[in-house]
Chain A
Amino acid sequence: MNDEELDQLFRDAANRFQPPDAPEGAWDAFYKTKMLPAAENTQQDRFFIPRRTWQLAAACLLLVATGLLWMLWQHPVPAPGGTRPGSGIAAGPLKSKTILPSEAAPLPPAPGNTRTNDRSLSSRSLPTVLFETKEQPVVHNSQHLPGAPPTVETERKLRPADTVKPGKPYLSLRDKHTDGRPAHPALPQYYNQSSAGSGSSISTANASWQVGLLAGSNLGMVRGDVSKKPGLNAGVLVQKKLGQSRFSLESGVIYESMTYAVNNEDFNPNGQPVSSKVSNIEGSCSMIDVPVNLRYDVVASRKNKAFVSTGVSPTVIVKQSYVYDFDRGDGPVPVTRDVSGKGKSVYAVANLSIGYEQKWEHVSVQIAPYVKIPVGEIGYGNLSLGGVGTQISIKKDL
């Protein structure tokens, strides 16, 4: 047998060979051992290209972070020692000091405040501008200052501020460290706010109007079958408190994207039953939702609230598409079809929601799981499309 005959022998055998069928369970073993780990590795490789759930989480976090930054920008927290940005107090050279309790003069009462000073003004709410300061030589031992504790390194001669006269600025002193400008021009307002702190917070908590942003995720639901693929919500909201009661009206404009699986019997395009050649129907849609809800605060403290709300949402479908298998006789073929604009595009859903709201000054953050129950049918397939989800909102008092 020469080389060519030898090669031909093997070549012919290979060409004549009838491949065997895949053994039972081969696909399952392959899918478990190869495809799933490969998919996980792909996700790890694409860590910086997040999946939809990561995108939703990132959007929510971004929203919360933006709100917190906004809140801090609107209401900066006074630094320990009482200085406020822009007050001019920090212009003076400050050194470490020890203020003995006996040296602190009694504070004058704030206008309209009848409470005693030691109760109405704590050390935290007391700005240091209440004292005019003068630098003195550093005392290193008690010989120069009989009776002074040995721990004193720097002493400032403290003098009580002038008594506030009604109708005049609380502090009219001019500080040499601020080039003769009023040391704390905004002090009366600040003082009033600080000394009457609780009253101010109460009025804030009862703000009549609130506006905010919201984001969240949803799961589409058709006749009780909840989708496994999450969708996205984002929008703006406005809330109006009804008098001094615990009721509020909520409204807004919300964009929603939703994915859902549909059984053939629940899918009726143009009112007709779907062909038996169609299977594995999966739909997705984008909607604009205008909820009008009545909210009741079950728990309503100054800093937090728990609430229930209910209402209706007129909803407009702006985009919808379907992916399904269609059998033309030679086996099912996957089909993608955009049906935007077909079928009924406006319907209503009933909203049920519970939630929790946490408040800081004029800003609050709330989280509210919800259920949407379809009141009518919508879209190309005349679906009873509802959903479940959670919304996170950041609101600001007006």
Chain B
Amino acid sequence: MSVPPKTEYSLLSMVGGCKLGIPSWQKRLYERYFGFALAVCLRYTASREEALEMVNDGFVKVFRGIAHFREPDDPELLSRIFMSWLKKIMIHTSINHYQSAKRKADGIDSRPELPEAATPGNAVDDMAYLDLIKLIQRLSPAYRATFSLFAIEGFSHEEIAKTLGISVGTSKTNLMKARKNLREMLEQLNE
């Protein structure tokens, strides 16, 4: 029995449908960009479950705010601009969650900064993204957010300080300690 080919809907159609609030189009957009959003949120959360929660919270913001999303005149740019917009929402959702949790914990990071045991695996160069993400997830929330924003998203220390509500000096310190911890984790994996 042959399976009918999965219909590919254009991003323009999906955005248009979501702007009208039609659930079938929201579903298509959600399923298309779920993985991308999850990959972003994994960098700012301590677990996959927490990341899934951020993905869903982020998509609520996407569907609420998509009416204000402006499609570019050049259709070729639509995908890149939309993904940039989506990533920004997911990052801010995760950061807000981190800051909320931080306030509840009175500024005390409860997570250990170093792993108790490294995940056995391949050489560092061959490590998959999800393996590296697991290392990032072992960092404290402050180190994790700072490192991801700086090393992966390309934020400057000024932008990180503004986003996380910390000083530029703290951002630099966090980045330095995050790198130090990640190096130690990678060395443990290589041993």
Contacts and interface: CB of A to CB of B under 8 A. Distances in A.
Interface in A16-31: 16-22, 26-27, 30-31
6 contacts: A7-B150, A10-B147, A11-B151, A19-B34, A22-B30, A38-B64
Contacts of B60: 34-35, 38
B128 A6 contact: no
Contacts of A333: 12-13, 16-17
A214 B157 CA distance: 67
Nearest to A323: B20
A330 interface: yes
A22 B182 CA distance: 29
B36 interface: yes
A334 interface: yes
A36 to B, nearest CB: 10
Interface string B116-136: 000000001101111010001
B31 A21 contact: yes
B162 interface: no
Given A9-B132, A10-B152, A35 B63 contact: yes
Nearest to B29: A27
A26 B57 CA distance: 13
A18 B39 CA distance: 9
A220 to B, nearest CB: 20
Interface stretch (B3-11, B94-102, B106-114): B3-11
Overall SS of chain B's interface:
helix
Contact of B152 (A11, A20, A334): A11
Interface string A11-53: 1011011111110001100110111001000000000000000
Contacts of B179: 3, 6-7
Given A7-B179, A323-B20, 7 more contacts: A7-B151, A11-B151, A19-B33, A19-B35, A20-B35, A330-B13, A331-B7
A10 B8 contact: no
A330 B59 contact: no
A331 B10 contact: yes
Interface of B: 7-10, 12-13, 16-17, 20, 22-23, 25-27, 30-31, 33-36, 38-39, 43, 56-57, 59-60, 63-64, 124-125, 127-130, 132, 136, 147, 150-152, 179, 182-183, 186
Contacts of B127: 9, 13
A332 interface: yes
- A-B CB proximity, top 4 nearest: A19-B35, A331-B9, A22-B34, A7-B151
B13 A332 contact: yes
A79 interface: no
B9 to A, nearest CB: 3
Overall SS of chain A's interface:
helix
Given A10-B152, A13-B128, A334-B25, A34 B59 contact: yes
A10 B153 CA distance: 11
Interface string A298-340: 0000000000000000000000000100000011111000000
Contact of A17 (B8, B26, B34, B39): B39
B139 to A, nearest CB: 12
B132 A10 contact: yes
B31 A27 contact: yes
Given A6-B179, A7-B151, A19 B39 contact: yes
A26 B26 CA distance: 13
B129 A17 contact: yes
A30 B61 CA distance: 13
Given A3-B179, A10-B152, A334-B22, A27 B27 contact: yes
A6 B183 contact: yes
Nearest to B130: A17
Contacts of B43: 14
Nearest to A38: B60
Contacts of B132: 9-10, 13
Nearest to B30: A27
B56 A34 contact: yes
A13 B12 CA distance: 29
Given A26-B34, A34-B56, A334-B20, A14 B39 contact: yes
A21 B9 CA distance: 15
Contacts of B128: 13, 17
A233 B179 CA distance: 69
A1 interface: yes
A30 B183 contact: no
B151 A10 contact: yes
B34 A21 contact: yes
Nearest to B58: A34
B129 A6 contact: no
Contacts of A21: 31, 34-35
A333 B10 CA distance: 9
Given A9-B124, A30-B59, A20 B38 contact: yes
Interface in A215-271: none
A34 B55 CA distance: 11
